[in-house]
A = this chain, B = another copy of it.
């Protein structure tokens, strides 16, 4: 862009530069300073074309901590104070799930671009309405599915796109650990949301036909702390997700089986997160039952080097770019819609103890 400016008359160039500088420095307000909020502040603050101008939280101590680290940021006790400002271009919501719909709606209607922590909202209906408002207002509505910005998940998507994996046969993901019970939402809204967003991304939005889910609560609250989700499709792919808050060890392991290769993505591994197996099987059609044959293939294993940049910085950049250049973010509202739709169906299926919910 600097090149173009060189060819403009001097006065025009100056005005263009001023406009660019004004436009380029996106003014961000961040709502919610719990666990994730300060990370958002830090990453948005590291961008060259955006700055965090204000934050909101009901907790004064959290506000004070931000103020001491970033004296230029203004602090507010409520989201509404940020949403109603005209000198804020975009709002980032890192608040509890149940507030997402209402705050995002208000922000969009107040002419703000909106980035929402995962999950985007609590139901297909809520997300659908938010998307309509965003489109009507011409604003970016994006969800923070952070894993889509990791080197590991991007690598898998690349392998899928290039046909390295072949036809997808199965996706089996386990995400368990001890801790972080959420008193409002079952474990799938906290953990399976990651696996579902990864699945949706690496398959470029493969359409889910039905959901069967099971789970249990070990407290007196009707909130499942262990849950299992199976996704059915219109072909013979299957996806399964295990979520638990009461495992003695932390496991983040995803097996992806294709007709050509298989991948194991182990996010707990510090350096060898992705292993690509040149293994598989092919079926020869039997003429007689007992001649039915399978050929197995056990081959080399390949561990690619992955990009190491912080995923959340990628989220911040993608949101900013979507606003400024009109691009579609990787973790866009369609991703948010797909994930919430499945979570809602899974929750319903768990009530029916595995009952199939068609989508």
Contact of A302 among B226, B242, B264, B302 (CB under 8 A): B302
Q: Report chain B residues within 8 Å CB of A349.
A: 354
Is A138 at the interface (CB under 8 A from chain B)?
Answer: no
Indicate if the CB atoms of B272 and A219 lie closer than 8 Å: no
Q: Report chain B residues within 8 Å CB of A95.
A: none
Is A289 at the interface (CB under 8 A from chain B)?
Answer: yes
Q: For the complex, give the distance between the alpha carbons of A154 and B292 in Å.
A: 36
| A183 to B: closest C-beta gap in Å | 4
Is A238 at the interface (CB under 8 A from chain B)?
Answer: yes
Q: For the complex, give the distance between the alpha carbons of A175 and B271 in Å.
A: 18
Q: Report chain B residues within 8 Å CB of A44.
A: none
Indicate if the CB atoms of B352 and A218 lie closer than 8 Å: no
Is A299 at the interface (CB under 8 A from chain B)?
Answer: yes
- Knowing A226-B238, A296-B179, A354-B355 are in contact, say whether A218-B169 is a contact too (CB < 8 A): yes
Is A123 at the interface (CB under 8 A from chain B)?
Answer: no
Q: For the complex, give the distance between the alpha carbons of A271 and B38 in Å.
A: 26
Indicate if the CB atoms of B255 and A247 lie closer than 8 Å: yes
Q: For the complex, give the distance between the alpha carbons of A230 and B212 in Å.
A: 11
**Chain A interface residue count: which class?**
35 or more
| A256 to B: closest C-beta gap in Å | 10
Indicate if the CB atoms of B262 and A257 lie closer than 8 Å: no
- Knowing A257-B248, A353-B356 are in contact, say whether A303-B301 is a contact too (CB < 8 A): yes
Beta-carbon nearest neighbor of A296 in chain B:
B179
Q: For the complex, give the distance between the alpha carbons of A244 and B172 in Å.
A: 10
Q: Report chain B residues within 8 Å CB of A217.
A: 236
What is the 8 Å Cβ interface bit string for chain A, positions 144-159, against chain B (1 contact, 0 not)? 0000000000000000
Q: Report chain B residues within 8 Å CB of A354.
A: 212-214, 230, 349, 354-356
Contact of A178 among B170, B183, B221, B281 (CB under 8 A): B281
Beta-carbon nearest neighbor of A285 in chain B:
B220
Contact of A305 among B178, B228, B275, B298 (CB under 8 A): B298
Is A283 at the interface (CB under 8 A from chain B)?
Answer: yes
- Knowing A170-B226, A220-B285, A242-B240 are in contact, say whether A353-B264 is a contact too (CB < 8 A): no
Q: Report chain B residues within 8 Å CB of A246.
A: 169-170, 257, 262, 280-281
Interface centre among A213, A236, A264, A294 (most CB of B within 10 A): A294
Beta-carbon nearest neighbor of A181 in chain B:
B294
Is A232 at the interface (CB under 8 A from chain B)?
Answer: yes
| A223 to B: closest C-beta gap in Å | 10
Q: For the complex, give the distance between the alpha carbons of A304 and B303 in Å.
A: 11
Contact of A242 among B172, B289, B352 (CB under 8 A): B172
19 more A-B contacts (CB under 8 A) besides A170-B216, A232-B353, A300-B304? A178-B279, A183-B292, A210-B353, A213-B354, A214-B354, A217-B236, A219-B283, A219-B294, A220-B285, A242-B242, A247-B257, A248-B255, A300-B305, A301-B303, A302-B302, A302-B303, A352-B356, A354-B355, A355-B356
